[in-house]
Amino acid sequence: MMIKLLKNAQVYSPAPMGKKDLLIAGEKILMIRDSIQGYEGLDGVETFDLEGNILAPAYIDLHVHITGGGGEQGPASRVPESQLTTFTTNGIATVVGLLGTDGITRSLENLVAKARALTEEGITAYALTSAYCYPPTTITGSVEKDIVMIPPMIGVKVAASDHRSSNPTGEDLIALGTAARRAGLLSGTPGLVTIHMGSGNGRLDPIFYALEHSDVPVKNFLPTHMLRTPELMEDGVRLIRMGGYMDCTAGCDEESCETAAGQIADLLGRDGVFADHMTLSSDAYGSQPRFDENGNCVGLTYASPKYLHKTIQSLAKRGIPLEEALKLLTSTPAAVLGKEGVKGCVREGADADLLVLGDGLAIDGLFAKGKTALWKGEIKMKGRFE
């Protein structure tokens, strides 16, 4: 079993814990103390001196097109698949993979295989069944069976209030939410319904209808891309005040990253809106198309996970306490995944997914399930074909 001793770390759990030493055994945090003695120099023990740098939970990205997205401008516009180091060098040790607009050439079978590949290579990867469409597409013929019978499936994806969606109604979301909820209970997964939100006039109306006309818990619905319009953000505030969660997408370039950070900072200043019910995701490898007023695609790029950490840095510069900003990518997504105390925290018994931040909050190191993925900016763990 791998033993690692981390010395002189300024720990954020994400709440600040002060200066601590950590002992990692295999994939888990075994011990956290003010000082841990007697292990340095022993055979099989690797020691890392953090020299007072910040040690935080590694990031959890709830929305990643791990097999590539795109396609809105034809086959040549399909985005390539993700690579392991693109995540680890940007502080990410857990991802949720999903499909986007293209649920035809991007298959669920490939999604499952890619999630399993990333997990084999060193991080933790989950997946969602279906894509934009309703009724959902599945592997087994049933959303419930996919979630229960096919690890790493933990929920289902659908799109709403978007000209590319199937425009699901409130009744459709009740059916989908009920299936995912029941499957989650049977499989020990969150039974999550992630809802791609467009900028259509319907906004979160189908979700509010489902919550008002069924017994599906509010935590099972996670609308994403919630920074698109002021009106959509207002619906998100309403959902949070009902006890729900909203997912915000980081920008895809420097300008949009700063815009997103400003929007998030404004939201966190609202009464009843806390980082405990807001998450941040990258939409990495998902296409970022621009459409004109007639619905024609007039431009296309794709998102990078690097803007997650840039958003955290921007929030800190805007005066948001680091422990609050970190929640967006650590403890809150862990709660959404039903992994409190396991992911998204620095705690004895938790997974040893740990992020080291140096000067200016620069990413200096990453441990994924106890393995050294990045140390002092040098990549230590790569995917098989990198």
Residue 199 is given by DSSP the state: S
Radius of gyration of the chain (CA): 20
Q: Please report the sign of the dihedral spanned by the C-alpha atoms of residue 117, residue 120, residue 122, residue 123.
A: positive
C-alpha angle with apex 243: 240 to 248, nearest 5 degrees? 35
C-alpha pair distances (Å), 328 with each of 36, 235, 332, 373:
30, 19, 6, 22
Q: Reply yes or no: is the peptide bond before residue 136 cis, omega within 30 of 0.
A: no
Cα separation, 52 vs 212, whole angstroms: 50
Q: How far apart are CA 284 and CA 289, in angstroms?
A: 13
Active site positions, annotated: 283
Is residue 288 a contact partner of residue 302, using CB atoms and an 8 Å limit? yes
CA-based nearest residue to 314, from 274, 256, 358, 381: 256
Is 123 in contact with 368 (CB distance < 8 Å)?
yes
Whole-Å CA distances, 255 to 133, 201, 216, 258, 363: 31, 26, 38, 5, 21
